[in-house]
Structure 1
Amino acid sequence: MADAGSGASRTLESALARLSTALGHLEASVERRLDSDRSLNALHEDLQRLGEDRSQLAATLDRVEARAKGLEEANRDVSRRLVSAMESIRTVLDAHGG
């Protein structure tokens, strides 16, 4: 009967070893999944921050474009006034023999 007990003991030890190996694989798989979830959450947070940055940049671009348009209009107005002033000066110079 010693052999039967010894065989059962080896079978039990083998089953425990397989169970331990399976648990190790399960723990590793769970850890990989948790790492993956953390990475995915980090990517979602990065994506949200990028969206916020994009919105801020778009608003800044709109303000800068509006300012540039205003400056272009002011530049055209100054240019017209300079042309008008130069024509007035030429008229005065021509009238006075300049």
Structure 2
Amino acid sequence: MAGETVLDDALARLEAAIGRVEGAVDQRLEHAGKIADLESELQQLGTDRSRLAQALDAAEARSGRIEEANQDVSRRLVSAMETIRGVLERNSH
């Protein structure tokens, strides 16, 4: 019977060790899955960043064109106001 107790103890330790190994393997697989998910998310963030950078460049270019158009309109309005003022002055005398 003493042999059976030693054998039972050894089997119990072996089963416990196998359980820890299985737990470690499961944990490692879970971490590997999380790493793959994070790598995928990082790649998507890079893609989004590139898309946003292109959109920002386009918006800045458009803003520059609007600024130029605004300045042109302003110059034309000043010119038109001066012309109207000149006409009014000539007609008032």
Q: Same fold (TM over 0.5)?
A: yes
> What amino acid is aligned across from residue 29 of structure 2 in structure 1?
L
Name 1:49's counterpart in structure 2: 44
Secondary structure of 2:49's counterpart equals helix
**Quick one: distance in 2 between partners of 1:31 and 1:80?**
73
**Quick one: distance in 2 between partners of 1:69 and 1:23?**
68
Compute the TM-score of the two structures, normalised by the length of structure 2: 0.95
- Aligned match of 2:11 in 7, 10, 16? 16
Name 1:62's counterpart in structure 2: 57
Instruction: Give the number of equivalent residue pairs.
Output: 93
Name 2:31's counterpart in structure 1: 36
**RMSD value, Cα:** 1.0
Unaligned runs of 5+ in 1: 1-5
Unaligned runs of 5+ in 2: none
Compute the TM-score of the two structures, normalised by the length of structure 1: 0.91
Q: % of aligned pairs identical?
A: 49
